[in-house]
Structure 1
Amino acid sequence: MALGVLSLLGFQLVDSAFIARLGTAPLAAQSFTFPMSFLIIGVQVGLGIAIAALISRALGAGEASRARRLGSLVLVGGSLMVGILCLSLLILQAPLFRLLGADQALLPLIRAYWTPQLLASWVGALLYFGYSLFRAHGDMRLPGKMMVLTSLLNLLLDPLLIFGLGGWPGLGLPGAAWATAIAFTLGLLVLGLRLKQTDWLARQALGMEMRRSAGPFLGIAGPAMISQLMPPLAAMLATAILASLGETAVAAWGMASRLETVSLMVVLALTMSLPPWLGRCYGAADWQQIRRLMRLALRVVAVWQLALGLLLALAAPWVADLLAGNPEIRGELTILIRGLLPSYALLGVCMVVVSASNALGWPLRSMLMSAVRLFVCYLPCLWLGAQWGGIVGVALGAALGNALAGGLAFVLYRRSIGTRGKPLEAATV
């Protein structure tokens, strides 16, 4: 899963690197779409969390037939829900991007990119739901391989569709979105063929299962989606804050956001692969194993992210030069890398705790942690930093917000886990 996440997020970073060669305006236009893209991703991830949690719990309890019915229901319902959301964002695009601070000159660029990007987002959501089904059944290899495959396809198509070939000038900025849409569509076809070879879906008794599982599903999916929708809202507010610092700051922030997701590949892999495992342990009431898994995951995240963050901070000028074509963007991106990347050690701790809480029957606590991270820790520190010191203040403020969020999440997890899974003698000491 780590390799799959790296390849998937890596091609998004490559997208931005190619687009940076088109100029500051196209990169800024793409950066303005990130919060809306995160909104779609938030919905699909929230649904995916519920899919993995309920199916893995059913399998852990020995209810294989129920797991098949749940698989069928979530694939159909999730595709409809994300489709309606994408259509709404297409219709409301102009007022939404104006609200984010995009000026009139950027709107045509955004419009040309946003339509194919919405198509890519919908197909990508269907692919993600399929991945969630495989992960819930303990198959991490196929989703990882498919992420690598779609990433390679996108990497091959990107320069061709953006810059053209021979006498064909290419599509420019929209070419990046069309490359993603084509890669995801081919990946979905392969995944569908593989899914037909399993017995993980059912056609009978779906209405009965819908009535039975609607409450538990909404109990997980509702808080999970709210938790996942908070980052897009925070990203919108952060983009508005950066827009006050100028177009170059928005472009640098967008590139830093892409680099952030790539640098968090291990954390994201754990948030995908750990909950199904925890869900099975939860279904079997094996709290000792849950404690061991969480202890290992949190140690891995803290050590890996701190080491990677410090390494990238030292190499920041060279990384920024590799990713950005504009000297002004390179300078501001260097500042953001040095300020933000080391703080992802504690951000990763927070992300793992939030993801695990949904699998462990604490969806409301997960939602609370997400809200506190973004709206109590991150955004206030980001705003104060922008007011105090421009792009330098933004980097330091965001880093402080990440550190506070990680510390609070760890404390809340320790209080939530309590004495579960400990021997009775140790619990009473």
Structure 2
Amino acid sequence: MQQRELAITLWRQTWPMAIGVLALLGFQLVDSAFIARLGTAQLAAQSFTFPLSFLIIGIQVGMGIAIAALISRALGAGEGERARRLSSLVLMAGGGVIGLLAIILWLFHVPIFRLLGADATTLSYIYIYWGPQLLSAWLGALLYFSYSVFRAHGDTRLPGKMMVLSSLVNLVLDPLLIFGVGDWEGWGLPGAAWATAIAFSVGLLVTTRKLLKRQWASQLGLWLEAKQSWRPFTGIAAPAMVSQLMPPLAAMLAISVVAGLGESEVAAWGLASRLETLSLMVILAMTMSLPPWLGRCYGAGDWGQIQQLMRLAVKVALVWQLSLGVVLALGAPWLAMALAGNPEVQNELTLLIRFLLPSYAALGVCMLVVSAGNALGWPLRAMLLSSARLFICYLPFLWLGSQFFGWWGLAAGAAVGNLLAGLMAWQVMRRILSRPHRQAGFVN
């Protein structure tokens, strides 16, 4: 495939997911902006829940990566019936695993949040928010698994549309359920979680109906398929889940460092975390659209196209993310003013935006290389790269910066960690793509 045709196809596969990711992450940022109007304590309470929410997302994404890789490879090899069985398995098993995790996180949430540094006032807000938030996380996981099936079949438009639809439902419900309407005062902080749960339920109803209509799931031979596929599934899912669990673990450690600086710092860090995922929307979209395409190339043995795809994706990531980061850094004071009502939180958020947003160009390269690794048969290498990014590059510099220079040092240290991670990922990708005669093996 020519470079121009490849770029057009990548654009067609990515733009629906980019719009969907923008809508999905946009409503999460809107959640935080509404909650910020309730008060700094409520915003800090929500910020403390982010690492555990990311933990759930990490497990669901790891499972989704594995199943999308297996389904796309089956489709590339012409095994349509097996692909349908795999679709059913991930929806059933994935829902059970995430449901069990949600129950465990509810039962032990008090000691966990105390360990992260939450005080009595913050815990009182977390208590009323965490239950509905776990329900919305479980519904979101089921919705994500259905998205994985569609993406494995090369359909990125429906998941993109559903992300927009659920975002619009959430946007309408958020102010109503948080602040109320008329004489009804609303639910406050829990209202944000209930709005998300309802939005995900609407998306899940639509995608389930479409999935059954297209007959991409089958109930025949599931037990035999489970026995046949559990080894390759585990071989991809286990390292992928470990890779995805590293960020929430790092987020827990990071927020424990931030908590030592004060409540307003925790609130600013929570808003910056929401802004981070929103600013990385194109990268996140490519990590969703690219692996199934790479998986089909892997199944067909087309390593030349794999090399072209990876080089093109990295170029797009660097140009887009650096341009966006510089623009947002220049507009940091106004962006912080729009997101936070407290002047102290605004100042601290402004500093984070100026340091972190441009560094996400390097972070985006690392994210693409990790996602490609899970699709192309080197999940262990991807896991090691993800671990090194967080525990060798990111956290040590963040901690050192905070110890020596406070809030300013923490922001600068996090940015330096992202830059080092991007350089490391670039070297890993260059080594792999420079030896095409070894691509079919990918020994970890």
TM-score normalised to structure 2 length: 0.94
Partner residue, 1:357? 373
Letter matched to residue 188 of structure 2: G
C-alpha distance in structure 1 between counterparts of 2:418 and 2:185, whole Å: 43
Look up the SS of the partner of 2:38 in the other structure.
coil
2:197 to 181, 187, 204: 181
Look up the SS of the partner of 2:252 in the other structure.
helix
Letter matched to residue 219 of structure 1: G
Q: State whether residues 291 and 421 of structure 1, in contact with CA within 8 Å, keep that contact through their aligned partners in structure 2.
A: no
Q: State whether residues 287 and 421 of structure 1, in contact with CA within 8 Å, keep that contact through their aligned partners in structure 2.
A: no
Partner residue, 1:388? 404
Relative to structure 1, is the Cα distance of residues 212 and 258 closer, same or farther in structure 2, using a 3 angstrom cutoff?
same
Letter matched to residue 300 of structure 2: A
Partner residue, 2:287? 271
Q: Which structure 2 residues correspond to residues 186-205 of structure 1 after superposition, within 5 A?
A: 186-205=202-221
Partner residue, 1:290? 306
Q: State whether residues 154 and 183 of structure 1, in contact with CA within 8 Å, keep that contact through their aligned partners in structure 2.
A: yes
Are residue 92 (structure 1) and residue 108 (structure 2) matched?
Answer: yes
Partner residue, 2:64? 48
Partner residue, 1:105? 121
Partner residue, 2:27? 11
Look up the SS of the partner of 1:168 in the other structure.
coil
Partner residue, 1:79? 95
C-alpha distance in structure 1 between counterparts of 2:341 and 2:408, whole Å: 21
Are residue 35 (structure 1) and residue 33 (structure 2) matched?
Answer: no
Look up the SS of the partner of 1:197 in the other structure.
helix
Partner residue, 2:80? 64
2:426 to 410, 421, 427: 410
Are residue 121 (structure 1) and residue 162 (structure 2) matched?
Answer: no
Partner residue, 1:251? 267
Look up the SS of the partner of 1:203 in the other structure.
coil
Q: Which runs of 4+ in 1 moved over 6 A?
A: none
Letter matched to residue 35 of structure 1: P
Q: State whether residues 377 and 404 of structure 1, in contact with CA within 8 Å, keep that contact through their aligned partners in structure 2.
A: yes
C-alpha distance in structure 2 between counterparts of 1:308 and 1:339, whole Å: 13
Are residue 332 (structure 1) and residue 348 (structure 2) matched?
Answer: yes
C-alpha distance in structure 2 between counterparts of 1:193 and 1:67, whole Å: 18
For residues 302-344 of structure 1, the C-alpha deviation after alignment (integer angstroms, 9 at most, x for no partner) is 0100000000000000000000010000000000000100000
Partner residue, 1:427? none
C-alpha distance in structure 2 between counterparts of 1:141 and 1:330, whole Å: 37
The structural deviation recorded for 1:196 is 1.3
Partner residue, 2:9? none
Partner residue, 1:165? 181
Letter matched to residue 173 of structure 2: L
For residues 342-376 of structure 1, the C-alpha deviation after alignment (integer angstroms, 9 at most, x for no partner) is 00000000000000001010000000001000000
For residues 384-412 of structure 1, the C-alpha deviation after alignment (integer angstroms, 9 at most, x for no partner) is 01111111111100000000001001101
Letter matched to residue 315 of structure 1: G
Letter matched to residue 24 of structure 1: T
Partner residue, 1:153? 169
Aligned-residue Cα RMSD (Å) equals: 1.0
C-alpha distance in structure 2 between counterparts of 1:287 and 1:50, whole Å: 20
1:217 to 219, 229, 233: 233
Letter matched to residue 136 of structure 2: A
Letter matched to residue 411 of structure 1: Q
Partner residue, 1:141? 157
C-alpha distance in structure 2 between counterparts of 1:367 and 1:106, whole Å: 34
2:417 to 401, 416, 421: 401
Q: Which runs of 5+ in 2 are unaligned?
A: 1-16, 439-444
Identity %: 68
TM-score normalised to structure 1 length: 0.98
The structural deviation recorded for 1:421 is 6.9
The structural deviation recorded for 1:417 is 2.6
Look up the SS of the partner of 2:120 in the other structure.
coil
Q: State whether residues 6 and 265 of structure 1, in contact with CA within 8 Å, keep that contact through their aligned partners in structure 2.
A: yes
C-alpha distance in structure 2 between counterparts of 1:388 and 1:13, whole Å: 31
The structural deviation recorded for 1:51 is 1.0
Letter matched to residue 131 of structure 1: Y
C-alpha distance in structure 1 between counterparts of 2:408 and 2:353, whole Å: 11
C-alpha distance in structure 1 between counterparts of 2:91 and 2:214, whole Å: 15
Partner residue, 2:5? none
